[in-house]
């Protein structure tokens, strides 16, 4: 009876924690258990009386709010106030910017999958689709990337003209201001397609539609500012840039030394109240050609012309290029990707208050404005560029692996090549899934700052992985630059994508989990706000609610993690049946494991977790992989579960689950409180570590998908530039690839005949003649084989240059070092 009662007690406690029972249910259930124990085990009065006394005391202490607050919550509250890391207003604004969405669901430890699957699949309007099929296609055809990157070091004038005239700079500006008013999805599709043709052009189009004057004016501009500037930006009459970064403020952009002082000055012949500015900025995209400069600076009011306060905080302004004192510098060379980029300075530049974005009302709000806009823009531009690169290499490097032959076989038949090729294909599938899911969220009005950081970081990193793999597969044809090279510039561009819009190491180490832990966790932000509440009484009451909610949440995740760990996720709910069912179940397990591990790390390290960047990064990795895998499963459902795509789904899910497991294991290995880390590991992985990287067979199938013409390959690479109608390198690959598939059976017939000893000629050309003579193949087959040789040669040939030495020996123009570098 004693043993049975013990088992029953454990089962009840476990179930209550697992289902997150409320205080009343806990009290009732524990009282019932105590009663069963008392009666069933015939305990002596010496045991029963203290047992019931302790139970009654616990009920009083925990169940009566006034007592609980006084004896438990208040001491905790004071302790929290002491240990809570002090937070600058900049950090606080950054933390509170944007919204939370599916990321918060992943933090619960029991995501509601139906909510994700019910979300409508994002789609393009007819007008958006037409712009992509027509104007964007034409723009791509105007771009000769070799000429742009090697000869002109700029877009051709006709492309600049076309971009401005056709409204590429006004994709996000509403129609009422003369812009396109496109959805986030359409904006992304345009950038993705251009990126698959020319990174230089993609960056040029991307920047005015991302963080810059256009977006800032849309969100915060005064009516007059919107009416004046938005139509000019939409039509390309003004070319914008946005200048935040300077020599002393890169990642730590809040530390900008650039200054504005409130004063009176002359503006267009009138004396006005305004700001005198001094700044030094660098790396500014479109800076050299801009006509309208968006500027971030710190505003001061030393003469108190606006009020009592002297330091007013980060503020944003619009500076016309021709304003006296503005100096637009020369051009930087960002790794041979010659989009316009350079430094600029301002010396005693005077602007009236009406040039501050949002006017006086938004003085000092600049940091929040930037972070909010970044929460949106970061989820669009660089992810689109990265997916453009992933799709390009999936399609063309996949084709190359089918066309290029070594050891008498297409190189894609070798397992060594299948491994990186599968990775390219499946990571592209995953990147595109995450891109579209995020765009769907943006298009329903979310501003998910944590998710946009996840996609910025992970998609640019996967772009790096894919392009490196493609380089390995294509060997010399990827390395030798020239008009025939499809990979070189995308390879050179990767550090730019990694560095801009939040450098990746910083994003992984500080932002993803750092922001996610506070924003997405169901209780932490509430605790945080309660502790910082200047109204102590209200703060204590809120804290009491949050801290006990948090305790229940942790207990629930302990119970869930252990149960799911023991069963490896089986017996949990999946919203679907079939081949992806187990992945949903495994994600339930990993979500609970993540939520518990995050809480243990936060509870044991507190504010010190901010400095333990590698622990924070690993937790961020798990959260990110949960998001990426969710997006893969959602895409598979949205696309009607096409069976041919399963190798990609399988690869992406298995790889992500393995990475989650390894990140958690490394986290446990490095948590400073060792006994707790061991315990945590036991709870999360009670039956060992089940996940491995995808198998060789999955690799083979995933690689085969991009070496075979058909719907799956087209679906994977949909939306990139191919240029069938124009002469392009991409079209050369397409022709050779399609032909390779046609001649494959003929080549097999020849191979079989050779193995059977029917063909004895040593050379391929002689063997074809011999096969015709013997009636093994027809003349038509032979012609197809000969054509294949020509097409194959066309694809594998690389460029060579007679004037290489001269080109590169040329001295850079303007080699004088600007003052900006004289540090
Ligand atoms: C081609 C190009 C275009 C750009 N366009 C613009 C533009 O239009 N407008 C604009 O304002 N800016 C622009 N930038 C600036 C860009 O946003 C910055 O380069 C970026 O913020 C990083 O600053 P940094 O290069 O000075 O690197 P640093 O800040 O010096 O960082 C160096 C390294 O340290 C890491 N790091 C920094 N702090 C931490 C930390 N706490 N923990 C871990 N790692 C950390 C970073 O991740 C990075 O890896 C552009 C930059 C480039 C290269």
DSSP 239-261: -EEEE--BTTBSS-GGG---EEE
Buried b or exposed e, range 627-665, using 16+ CB within 10 angstroms: bbbbbbbbbbbbeeeeeebbbbbbbbbbbbbbbbbbbbe
**Closest listed residue to residue 229, CA positions, set 180, 273, 170, 276:** 170
Which atom of ligand 1 is found nearest the CA of 245?
Answer: 11
Among protein residues, the one whose CA lies closest to atom 44 of ligand 1: 506
* DSSP 8-state assignment for residue 323: S
Cα distances from 659 to residues 437, 463, 469, 618, in angstroms, run: 21, 17, 19, 10
pLDDT of residue 659: 98
Mutate to test the pocket of ligand 1, among 94, 250, 507 (most ligand atoms within 8 A of CB): 250
Does residue 41 line the site of ligand 1, with CB under 6 A? no
Pairing assessment for the beta strands 292-300 and 240-243 based on DSSP bridges: parallel
- C-beta neighbour count of 18 within 10 angstroms: 19
Q: Cβ(191)–Cβ(385) under 8 Å?
A: yes
The reply to whether ligand 1 has any atom less than 6 angstroms from the CB of 99 is: no
Provide φ and ψ at 693, rounded to 5°: -65, 160
Ligand 1 lined by 251 (C-beta under 6 Å): yes
- Nearest CA residue ID for atom 49, ligand 1: 505
Write down the residue that tokens 């933390």 correspond to. Answer: 95
User: Both tokens of residue 418?
Assistant: 């299948």
| pLDDT score of 87 | 65
Ligand 1 contacts CB of residue 284 (under 6 A) = yes
Secondary structure class of 542 (helix, strand, coil): helix
Name every residue whose Cβ is closer than 8 Å to that of residue 360 and which is 6 or more positions away in sequence.
306, 353
Q: What is the DSSP string of 676-742?
A: HHHHHHHHH-TT-----SPPHHHHHHHHHHHTS-SHHHHHHTTTS---TTS--HHHHHHHHHHHHHH
Phi, psi of 187 (to 5 degrees): -55, -45
- Separation CA 363–CA 800 (nearest Å): 57
Q: Which residues pair with 480 in a beta bridge?
A: none
Ligand 1 center to residue 216 CA distance, Å? 21
Residue 798 C-alpha to ligand 1 middle, in angstroms?
35
* Structural tokens at position 707: 């070496």
Residue 310: strand, helix, or coil: coil
C-alpha of residue 247 to centroid of ligand 1, in Å: 10
Q: Which residues contact 401 (CB under 8 A, 6 or more apart)?
A: 410, 411, 412, 417, 421, 473, 703, 706, 707
- Ligand 1 centre from 371 Cα, in Å? 15
Hey, what are 477's tokens? 């044809």
Catalytic, out of 376, 419, 501, 625: 501
pLDDT value, residue 817: 38
Distance 257 CA to ligand 1 centre (A): 16
Question: In the prediction, which pLDDT does 816 show?
Answer: 38
Question: Ligand 1: distance of its center to the CA of 618 in Å?
Answer: 22
Supply the pLDDT for residue 516. 87
Ligand 1 atom with the smallest distance to the CA of 502 is: 21
Distance between terminal CA atoms of the chain? 80
The C-alpha angle 416, 420, 425, rounded to 5 degrees, equals 135
Ligand 1 atom nearest 337 alpha carbon: 1
Tokens of 682: 């036991």
Closest CA to 524 of 15, 87, 115, 89: 87
User: Is the torsion defined by CA of 416, 418, 419, 421 positive or negative?
Assistant: positive
Q: How far is 101 from 129, CA to CA, in rounded Å?
A: 28
- For the Cβ of 244 lying below 6 angstroms from any atom of ligand 1, the answer is yes
- The DSSP H or E segment spanning 272 is strand 270-285
Question: E strands, 336-378, where?
Answer: 341-352
The rounded average pLDDT for each run of 10 residues, N- to C-terminus, in the chain (823 residues) is 75 82 79 78 75 80 81 87 68 73 92 95 95 96 94 95 96 96 96 97 93 92 96 95 95 93 94 97 96 97 95 96 96 95 97 96 93 88 97 98 93 97 98 97 91 97 98 97 94 96 94 89 88 87 90 91 94 94 97 96 86 95 98 97 98 98 97 94 94 97 97 97 80 94 92 90 87 93 93 93 64 39 27
CA 56 to chain centre: 52
Cβ within 8 Å of residue 633, ≥6 positions away: 580, 583, 584, 587, 649, 653
- Residue 421 Cβ contacting ligand 1 at under 6 Å: no
Ligand 1 mean position, distance from CA 489 (Å): 21
Residue 353 is given by DSSP the state G
**Residue 503: what are its φ and ψ, rounded to 5°?**
-55, 145
* 672 vs 601: CA distance, rounded Å: 9
42 is catalytic: no
Nearest CA to ligand 1 atom 32: 251
Instruction: Name the DSSP class of 800.
Output: -
What six digits make up the tokens of 328? 């637009």
CA angle 692, 695, 701 (to 5 degrees): 145
Dist CA 406 CA 725 (whole Å)? 31
Residue 492 CB less than 6 A away from ligand 1: no
Question: Sign of the C-alpha dihedral, residues 204, 186, 131, 170?
Answer: negative
509 lines ligand 1 (CB under 6 A): yes
Are 434 and 459 spatial neighbours (Cβ–Cβ below 8 Å)?
A: yes
What DSSP designation does 340 have?
A: -
pLDDT of residue 814: 42
- The CA distance from 383 to 459, in Å, is 6
Ligand 1 lined by 245 (C-beta under 6 Å)? yes
Alpha helices, H only, 485-535: 488-499, 504-506, 512-519, 524-532
Q: Find out whether 667 and 618 touch, Cβ atoms under 8 Å.
A: yes
Q: How far is the CA of 365 from the centre of ligand 1 (A)?
A: 22
What is the CA(423)–ligand 1 centre distance, in A? Answer: 29
DSSP class of residue 572? S
Is the minimum distance from the CB of 67 to ligand 1 under 6 angstroms?
Answer: no
Taking the C-alpha atoms of residue 8 and residue 670, their distance in angstroms, rounded to an integer, is 36
Nearest CA to ligand 1 atom 48: 503
335 touches ligand 1 (CB under 6 Å):
no
pLDDT value for 823: 25
* CB-based contacts of 405, cutoff 8 Å, min separation 6: 411, 792
Distance, CA of 823 to chain centre = 34
The DSSP bridge partners found for residue 300 are: 261, 311
Pocket test for ligand 1, best of 212, 506, 514, 613 (most atoms within 8 A of CB): 506
């Amino acid at each position: 009876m004693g043993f049975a009662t013990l088992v029953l007690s454990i089962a009840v406690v476990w179930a209550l924690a697992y289902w997150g029972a409320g205080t009343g249910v806990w009290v009732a259930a524990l009282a019932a258990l105590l009663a069963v124990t008392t009666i069933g085990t015939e305990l002596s009065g010496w045991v029963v009386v203290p047992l019931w006394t302790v139970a009654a005391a616990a009920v009083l202490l925990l169940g009566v709010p006034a007592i609980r607050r006084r004896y438990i919550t208040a001491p905790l509250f004071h302790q929290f106030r002491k240990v809570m890391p002090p937070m600058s207003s900049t950090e606080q604004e950054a933390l509170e910017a944007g919204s939370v969405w599916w990321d918060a669901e992943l933090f619960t430890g029991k995501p509601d999958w139906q909510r994700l699957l019910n979300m409508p699949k994002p789609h393009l309007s007819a007008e958006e689709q037409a712009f992509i099929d027509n104007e964007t296609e034409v723009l791509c055809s105007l771009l000769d990337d070799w000429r742009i990157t090697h000869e002109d070091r700029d877009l051709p004038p006709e492309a600049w003209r076309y971009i401005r005239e056709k409204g590429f700079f006004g994709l996000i500006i509403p129609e009422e201001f003369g812009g396109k008013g496109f959805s986030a999805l359409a904006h992304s599709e345009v950038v993705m397609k251009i990126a698959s043709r020319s990174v230089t052009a993609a960056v040029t189009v991307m920047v005015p539609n991302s963080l810059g004057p256009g977006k800032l004016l849309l969100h915060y501009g005064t009516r007059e500012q919107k009416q004046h500037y938005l139509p000019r930006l939409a039509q390309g009459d003004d070319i914008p840039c946005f200048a935040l970064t300077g020599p002393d403020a890169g990642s730590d952009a809040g530390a900008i030394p650039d200054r504005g002082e409130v004063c009176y000055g002359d503006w267009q012949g009138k004396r006005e109240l305004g700001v005198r500015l001094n700044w030094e900025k660098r790396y500014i995209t479109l800076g050299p050609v801009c006509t309208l400069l968006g500027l971030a600076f710190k505003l001061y009011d030393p003469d108190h012309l606006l009020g009592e306060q002297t330091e007013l905080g980060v503020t944003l302004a619009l500076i016309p290029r021709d304003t006296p004192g503005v100096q637009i510098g020369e051009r930087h060379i960002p790794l041979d990707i010659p989009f316009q980029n350079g430094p600029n300075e301002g010396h005693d530049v005077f602007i009236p208050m009406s040039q501050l974005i949002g006017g006086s009302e938004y003085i000092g709000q600049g940091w929040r404005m930037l972070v909010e806009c970044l929460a949106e823009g970061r989820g669009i531009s660089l992810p689109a560029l990265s997916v453009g690169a992933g799709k390009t290499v999936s399609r063309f490097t996949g084709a190359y692996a089918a066309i290029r032959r070594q050891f008498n076989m297409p190189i894609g038949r070798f397992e060594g090549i299948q491994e990186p090729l599968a990775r390219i294909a499946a990571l592209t599938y995953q990147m595109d899934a995450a891109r579209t899911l995020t765009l769907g969220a943006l298009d329903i009005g979310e501003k998910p700052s944590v998710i946009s950081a996840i996609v910025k970081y992970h998609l640019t990193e996967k772009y790096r992985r894919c392009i490196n793999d493609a380089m390995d597969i294509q060997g010399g044809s990827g390395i030798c630059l020239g008009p025939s090279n499809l990979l070189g510039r995308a390879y050179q561009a990767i550090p730019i994508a990694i560095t801009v819009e939040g450098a990746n190491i910083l994003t992984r180490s500080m932002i993803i989990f750092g922001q996610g832990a506070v924003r997405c966790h169901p209780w932490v932000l509430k605790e945080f706000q309660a502790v910082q509440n200047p109204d102590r009484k209200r703060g204590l009451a809120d804290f009491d609610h949050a801290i006990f909610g948090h305790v229940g949440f942790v207990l629930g995740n302990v119970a869930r993690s252990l149960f799911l760990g023991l069963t490896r996720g089986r017996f949990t709910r999946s919203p679907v049946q079939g081949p992806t069912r187990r992945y949903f179940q495994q994600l339930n397990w990993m979500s609970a494991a993540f939520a518990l591990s995050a809480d243990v790390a936060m509870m044991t390290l507190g504010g010190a977790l901010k400095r333990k960047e590698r622990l924070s990064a690993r937790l961020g990795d798990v959260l990110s992989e949960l998001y990426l895998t969710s997006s893969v499963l959602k895409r598979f459902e949205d696309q009607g579960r096409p069976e041919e795509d399963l190798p990609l789904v399988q690869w992406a899910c298995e790889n992500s689950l393995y990475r989650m497991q390894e990140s958690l294991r490394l986290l446990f290995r490095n948590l400073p409180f060792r006994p707790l880390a061991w315990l945590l590991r036991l709870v999360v992985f009670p039956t060992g570590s089940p996940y491995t990287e995808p198998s060789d067979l999955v690799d083979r199938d995933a690689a085969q998908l991009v070496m075979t013409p058909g719907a799956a390959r087209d679906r994977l690479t949909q939306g990139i530039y191919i240029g069938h109608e124009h002469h392009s390198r991409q079209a050369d690959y397409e022709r050779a690839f399609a032909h390779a598939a046609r001649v494959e059976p003929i080549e097999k017939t020849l191979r079989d005949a050779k193995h059977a000893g029917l063909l004895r000629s040593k050379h391929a050309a002689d063997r074809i003649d011999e096969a015709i003579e013997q009636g093994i193949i027809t003349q038509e087959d032979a012609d197809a084989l000969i054509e294949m040789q020509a097409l194959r040669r066309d694809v594998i040939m690389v460029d060579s240059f007679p004037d290489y030495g001269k080109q590169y020996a040329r001295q850079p123009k303007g080699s004088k070092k600007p003052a900006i570098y004289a540090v």
